[in-house]
Amino acid sequence: MQLKFYTSYMEQEAYIEEEAIFETDLQLDMESRTYLKEAAKWARFLGILGFIGSGFILLAILIIWYSSSQAFGLLGNSSLALASMGMGILIFIYLLLAVISFLVALFTFRFGQRTSRALLNDQQMDLKSGLSNLRFIFRTYGIMAITYISIMILAMIFGALS
């Protein structure tokens, strides 16, 4: 087998899809099927909880928006612009969190649903689709972890400098 270096991620993905070795050599025994079935059940449950959590975040946005509009009526004109800018940033952050949590919940639910269907009907395409959703979940968690670590490092640097 010849090693090839790929210039883009898409070429590498296309090469992997062309390889038939992954489809013919990998088999799931009963214990592996049991583990995947249980993981799929928990994924569907956690996906539903994620949808509910996203709804609570949206509800918090509406409460913050309403309460801030009530509080802004009590402020004078000089501090109104600064307060509304801060509230806008807070609402944007909450909205971003709601979208991210909804997407993670959606792909978690899809992983559970499609993996369960694949195990029930012995469908390779459903299993592939379910595992693709799992890949997205871990990629998202990785990006969030890198972002969090970067923010913490910047906070420590700015804290040490001040």
| Average confidence (pLDDT) per 10 residues, the chain, 162 residues | 49 54 68 94 97 95 82 64 76 93 96 95 91 94 95 95 86
Rg (CA), the chain: 23
DSSP 122: T
The pTM assigned to this predicted structure is 0.73
Cβ proximity of 124 and 23 under 8 Å:
yes
Q: What is the pLDDT of residue 64?
A: 85
Where are the chain's structural domains? 36-161
Contacts with 111 (C-beta within 8 Å, 6 or more apart), sequence order: 40, 43, 47, 130, 131, 133, 134, 137
